């Protein structure tokens, strides 16, 4: 049986660990032990260290002197930073993608919006939301830009899951519908403005809360 290349192993390890972090299975501050992970994946420490570097690049892990690699924590300012970065990069991608958007792509994005509105839990909503954004941005055909946006969406998902562990309320995404309408009518500048404001809303607007609960901010976008 052929041995799996170390780069492929590192990619697989980083992807699986990222999913665990994003979904809250690995909490902020938890130490990522090289020996345990190498044993779990049946590999040496080399691809594990590379996987850790990839997680650090995504902002999901942090390396600390004498403490090793740990799952990164986050605060409201980081949520807002990710939102600002997403807004800037997604608008750039949309402007390059707009001329390549077909009716079929926009129809698929509209279906993703309907799926998000009908989502019964936060995981289903996040998947539909990410699918919507990916559909309207992917035709830009700028792979590095799309990879950076994917990393930011992973960070957004982590914030989202952390904020909504206690429950989920269905919602109607009017911004997605407004973006689609503007794109169908060729009003690209308007679509870009709506998208920018839509993403920048993350972490800016106080969410409804019950008496006695700490202040929380909108994470969806």
pLDDT tens digits for 104-113?
999 999 999 9
State the DSSP string of 57-75.
HTTSEEEETTTEEEE----
Q: What is the pLDDT of residue 215?
A: 43
Q: What is the pLDDT of residue 5?
A: 62
Rounded to the nearest integer, the mean pLDDT of the chain is: 85
Q: In the chain, what are the domain boundaries?
A: 6-71, 76-200
Task: Count how many residues are written for the chain.
Answer: 221
Fold of 76-200: 1.20.120
Q: What is the pLDDT of residue 217?
A: 47
Q: What is the pLDDT of residue 88?
A: 97
Q: What is the pLDDT of residue 216?
A: 46
Among 78-82, 86-90, 152-156, 202-206, where is mean pLDDT lowest?
202-206
Q: What is the pLDDT of residue 168?
A: 62
- The sheet carrying 31-32 orders its strands as 31-32, 68-71, 61-64
Task: Tell which wins on pLDDT, 15 or 131.
Answer: 131
Q: What is the CATH number of domain 6-71?
A: 1.10.10.10
The three-state secondary structure class of 217 is: strand
Give yes or no for residue 151 having a pLDDT over 60.
yes
Q: Residue 194 in contact with residue 175, Cβ under 8 Å? A: yes
CA distance 13 to 37: 8
Q: What is the pLDDT of residue 220?
A: 62
> What would the two tokens of residue 15 be?
């992807």
Task: Tell which wins on pLDDT, 16 or 73.
Answer: 16
pTM: 0.73
Q: What is the pLDDT of residue 214?
A: 41
Among 2-6, 22-26, 162-166, 194-198, where is mean pLDDT lowest?
2-6
pLDDT tens profile 32-88 = 999 999 999 999 999 999 999 988 887 788 898 888 899 887 777 888 888 999 999
Q: Averaged over 129-133, what is the pLDDT? A: 95
Q: What is the pLDDT of residue 218?
A: 55
Q: Averaged over 191-214, what is the pLDDT? A: 70
Q: Are 6-71 and 76-200 the same fold in CATH?
A: no
């Amino acid at each position: 049986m052929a041995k799996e290349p170390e780069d492929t192993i590192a990619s697989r390890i980083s992807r699986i660990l990222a999913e665990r972090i994003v979904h809250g299975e690995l909490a902020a501050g938890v130490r990522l032990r090289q020996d345990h992970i190498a044993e779990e994946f049946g590999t040496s420490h080399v691809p594990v260290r590379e996987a850790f570097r990839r997680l650090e690049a995504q902002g999901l892990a942090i390396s600390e002197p004498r403490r090793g690699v740990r799952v990164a924590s986050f605060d409201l300012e980081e949520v807002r930073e990710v939102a600002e970065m997403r807004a800037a990069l997604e608008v750039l991608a949309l402007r390059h993608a707009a001329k390549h958007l077909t009716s079929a792509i926009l129809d698929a994005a509209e279906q993703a919006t309907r799926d998000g509105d009908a989502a019964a839990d936060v995981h289903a909503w996040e998947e539909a939301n990410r699918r919507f954004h990916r559909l309207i941005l992917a035709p830009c055909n700028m792979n590095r830009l799309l990879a950076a946006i994917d990393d930011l969406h992973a960070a957004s998902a982590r914030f989202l899951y952390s904020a909504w562990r206690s429950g989920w309320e269905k919602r109607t995404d009017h911004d997605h519908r407004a973006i689609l309408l503007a794109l169908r009518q060729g009003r690209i500048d308007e679509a870009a403005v709506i998208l920018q404001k839509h993403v920048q809303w993350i972490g800016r607007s106080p969410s409804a809360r019950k008496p006695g609960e700490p202040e929380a901010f909108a994470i969806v976008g």
